Amino acid sequence: MRKAICSPLLLLLLATPALAGALKDHLVDRICIADLQASAALEKRIPIPVGCELVDCCPGCPGPGPIDWRIAIDAKILAGAELRFEGLPPAKLKQLKIEGKAKRQGDRIVLGPGSSRIRGLPFSAEAPGPVGLLRPLKRKKPAARGMPAGSTVTEHFSVRQFLGQSQLNEFDWIFLMRRCGPVIDPPFFDTLKIEGIAPGDDVVVMLDARTLGQCSDGTPPAPEWIFRSTGQTSLPNLLAPTSGCNSEIAIFSKKHAMKWETGVAWTNSPGDVHTVTLDPLIEVPVHIWVQDDATAALAQTHIDRAEFLYRENMVGVQLVPTIRKLSEVSTESNAFQIVRDGINNAGNTCMDGIDVIRTKPFYTAKTLNVYYVDKPFTGKNCAIKESPFPCPTNPSSFAAGDANITFVGVNASLTTVAHEIGHAFGLRPAACDGHTEGVATIAKDNLMCTGTTCNPDRTTFTPGQVFRMNTHSDFWGGTMLIPNNLPSRTPRACAPDAADKLCPALDLPWP
C-alpha cells in the first residue's frame, strides 16, 4: 500500500499585541488526519498557569482571586479537550463552579465543543497558583469525508482568564487538520493594517468584533479590546458580524484625527486583511474674547496648555486659537457688560444674555467661543444653562444653551479652558460623570475631575472620554466637534455614565 505523504508537525509560538492589556499566546499545530491517532501533537499537555506569569501583568486589576476561565472550543474532527490542574487539591477541584460544555470526571474536566466557564480558581500574587494542563481529545473515528486533498479544517481552542472584569491573559491553540497531500498553507490569523501613520507616532486601537464562541464588543462584563499598533497587527480569526454583536474600529493618534469605522465586515475565514487609512488632525478654531492685554496673555497660556493636552491625549484635534479684545470688533461701549450679563456671579448658570451675545460681532458661529469675565468662578460651558444635579432622568427639563459659548472667571486654573472644552465636546452633564471625582476608577489627574479631591495639575483623558468627545449626541446638541467640524459624521448617544456594546466604559484605561 502506498504510504500517505504527511507534513511534519509545525509548532509556532506567536506573540501578538496585548488585547485589553492582557498577555496573549498562540500555539499552532498542523496535523495530517491519516496520522491523527498517532500524532504527537495530541499527546501534549500544554501548561497554562492560573493568573499571571509576569509580575504586574494586569496593572489596575482588582486584588487577589478567585479567577474565572472562559473556554471556547470549535472542533469538528477533535472531540474536545481534557483539563487537569496541578497544585489544586481535590477538595478545591470539587468546589469549582463549572458551566457550559464542560463536566467534571474524577480528577479532570472534560471540555466539549462550545463555550465553557470555570469559576473560583484560587490566585494570589504572592504565591504560585495551580497550573492547568490542557490536552486535546480524539474522536474514535475521525472523518475526513468531503475534504479534498490538501484542504484544511481549522480547530480552535481558546482559554481566557479573568480577574473580576479584567482580562489577565489569553491562550489560543489552533489545529490545522487536513487530509494527507500537498501542503497548502492557510493564513493563521486576520490582520489589521493602518496606513498613513506619521513618523514617530504609534496609535491606539479600540476594536469590537465577533470571535469564536463570544462577542468581544465591550458588553459588560467583557473588556473592550484596546491595544497599541505601529501599523500592522495580527488578530485572532474575527468572524462575520451578526445582529447583537458590534463590529467597529476606533483609532486614536497624537498626529491624526480619530478614525472611526462601523460595521466592519470581517469574514468567517482566517486571512482577512482590513486596511484603514488615517486622516489629518481636525483643526478646531477657538475664538477667545478678552477685555485687555493682560487677560489676553493669560488666555494664551491657558489655550496653549489645552492644545498640548488634547494632542497628548490623542483627541485627534488641533486647537487653533484667535485671541481678540472686544474693543477690536465692537464699537459698543458696553460690550464687556453684554458679555458679563451672559453668566451669573457664581458662574453656575448661563443667563438669557447669551442670546444677545450670539447677535454680536464678538460671537463666531460654528466655532468655540471663550469669554473671560471678571467674576469669582473658574469656568462654565453653556451647553446646559443650569447644570442639573443629580444626574437627570429627564434631560428635557433642563434648558439647553449654546455649547459653543464658554465663560472663564478670575479663579480659573491653568487647565480650566481644557476642562470646559471637554464639556463643549459632549462630556456632560457634570453630575452624570461629566465630572469624574465620583468615579473611583478614574485617576484624580483627569481633566474632568473637579473639587478638592482632584490633583491640581490635571493632565489626562481616558479613551472612553476621547471616544465620546468625537462621537456623542445628546439632548443639548452633543459634541460640538461634529456640527462645527465634522458635519458628515453620524453621532452616537454615549453619555459619560453609559457603557454597553456601543459605548466603551468611561474608565477604560490606555494600554
Q: Is the pLDDT of residue 433 over 70?
A: yes
Which of the four pLDDT bands, split at 50, 70 and 90, describes residue 13?
very low
Q: What is the mean pLDDT of the segment spanning 101-127?
A: 89
> What is the chain's mean pLDDT, rounded?
87
Cβ(77)–Cβ(83) below 8 Å: no
The residue that leads in pLDDT, 50 or 139, is 50
Mean pLDDT is lowest, of 60-74, 156-170, 351-365, 386-400, for 60-74
> What is the CATH code of the structural domain delimited by 190-277?
2.60.40
The reported pLDDT for the residue numbered 62 is 53
Can the peptide bond before residue 221 be classed as cis, meaning omega within 30 degrees of 0?
Answer: yes
The residue that leads in pLDDT, 54 or 277, is 277
Q: List the grid coordinates of 437.
A: 471625582
- Please report, for residues 355, 391, 432, the alpha-carbon distance to residue 397 in angstroms, rounded to integers and kept in the order given: 19, 12, 15
Q: Tell the residue number behind the cell numbers 465630572, with chain if given.
A: 435
Q: Among residues of the chain, what percentage have pLDDT more than 70? A: 85
Q: What is the mean pLDDT of the segment spanning 420-443?
A: 96
Three-state SS at 47: strand
DSSP output for 322-333: EEEEGGGT---T
Q: Is the pLDDT of residue 16 over 90?
A: no
Element (H, E) at 309: helix 293-312
Query: C-alpha 209: how far from its chain's center?
Result: 12
Cβ(385)–Cβ(405) below 8 Å: no
Task: Give helix then strand counts, H and E, for the chain.
Answer: 7, 23
Q: Is the pLDDT of residue 432 over 80?
A: yes
> For residues 348 and 371, what is the distance between their CA atoms, to the nearest angstrom?
15
The reported pLDDT for the residue numbered 7 is 28
pTM of the predicted protein model: 0.70
> For residues 36 and 34, what is the distance between their CA atoms, to the nearest angstrom?
6
Q: What is the mean pLDDT of the segment spanning 212-217?
A: 80
Q: What is the mean pLDDT of the segment spanning 458-472?
A: 97
The reported pLDDT for the residue numbered 281 is 97
Give the number of other CB atoms < 10 A from CB of residue 332.
14
Q: What is the mean pLDDT of the segment spanning 228-250?
A: 90
DSSP output for 157-206: EEEEEEETTEEEEEEEEEEEEE-SSS-----SSEEEEEE-PPTT--EEEE
Q: What is the mean pLDDT of the segment spanning 237-249?
A: 91
The residue that leads in pLDDT, 147 or 495, is 495
> For residues 456 and 449, what is the distance between their CA atoms, to the nearest angstrom?
9
Q: Provide CB contacts within 8 A for 212, sequence distance 6+.
A: 72, 74, 156, 158, 236, 237, 239
Q: Tell the residue number behind the cell numbers 476621547, with chain if given.
A: 466
DSSP output for 400-447: EEEEEEEEE-TT--TTHHHHHHHHHTT---GGGTTS-TT-TTS-TTBT
Strand 400-408 and strand 368-372: the pairing is parallel
- Please report, for residues 29, 73, 270, 306, the alpha-carbon distance to residue 267 in angstroms, rounded to integers and kept in the order given: 22, 19, 8, 42
Q: Which long-range contacts (CB under 8 A, 24 or more apart) does 84-90 make?
A: 84/45, 84/108, 84/109, 84/132, 84/133, 84/135, 85/50, 85/121, 85/130, 85/131, 85/132, 85/133, 86/47, 86/130, 86/131, 86/133, 87/128, 87/129, 87/130, 87/131, 88/121, 88/122, 88/130
* Residue 483 backbone zone (phi > 0: left; psi -120 to 50: alpha; other: beta): alpha
> For residues 118 and 104, what is the distance between their CA atoms, to the nearest angstrom?
11
Mean pLDDT is lowest, of 88-92, 218-222, 272-276, 308-312, for 218-222
Tell me where in the chain the CATH 2.60.40 domain(s) lie.
Answer: 190-277
Mean pLDDT is lowest, of 54-68, 231-245, 331-345, for 54-68
The reported pLDDT for the residue numbered 42 is 74
Q: Among residues of the chain, what percentage have pLDDT more than 90? A: 66
Cβ(174)–Cβ(26) below 8 Å: yes
Tell me where in the chain the CATH 3.40.390.10 domain(s) lie.
Answer: 282-485
Q: What is the mean pLDDT of the segment spanning 168-194?
A: 76
Per-residue H/E/C for 443-484: CCCECCCCCCCCCCCCCECCHHHHHHHHHECCCCCCCCHHHH
The residue that leads in pLDDT, 35 or 498, is 498
Mean pLDDT is lowest, of 21-35, 340-354, 390-404, for 21-35
Q: What is the mean pLDDT of the segment spanning 133-157?
A: 72
DSSP output for 68-85: EEEEEEE-SSEEEEEEEE
Q: What is the mean pLDDT of the segment spanning 457-464?
A: 96
Mean pLDDT is lowest, of 25-39, 257-271, 384-398, 439-453, for 25-39
Q: 293-312 and 416-424 helices cross at what angle (nearest 10)?
A: 60
Q: Among 257, 163, 269, 167, which Cα is nearest to 218's?
A: 167
> For residues 378 and 410, what is the distance between their CA atoms, to the nearest angstrom?
6
Q: Which CATH superfamily is domain 282-485 in?
A: Collagenase (Catalytic Domain) (3.40.390.10)
Q: Is the pLDDT of residue 188 over 70?
A: no
> For residues 407 and 373, what is the distance between their CA atoms, to the nearest angstrom?
7
Q: Among 510, 503, 458, 445, which Cα is nearest to 60's?
A: 510
Mean pLDDT is lowest, of 152-161, 302-311, 367-376, 406-415, for 152-161
Q: Is the pLDDT of residue 38 over 70?
A: no
Q: List the grid coordinates of 113.
A: 465543543
**E-strand spans in 212-290?**
214-216, 225-229, 232-235, 248-253, 259-262, 273-277, 282-290
Q: Is the pLDDT of residue 508 over 50?
A: yes
- Please report, for residues 127, 186, 239, 478, 503, the alpha-carbon distance to residue 281 in angstroms, rounded to integers and kept in the order given: 48, 38, 32, 20, 23
Q: Is the pLDDT of residue 369 over 90?
A: yes
Burial of 301 (0-12, 13-18, 19+ CB in 10 A): exposed
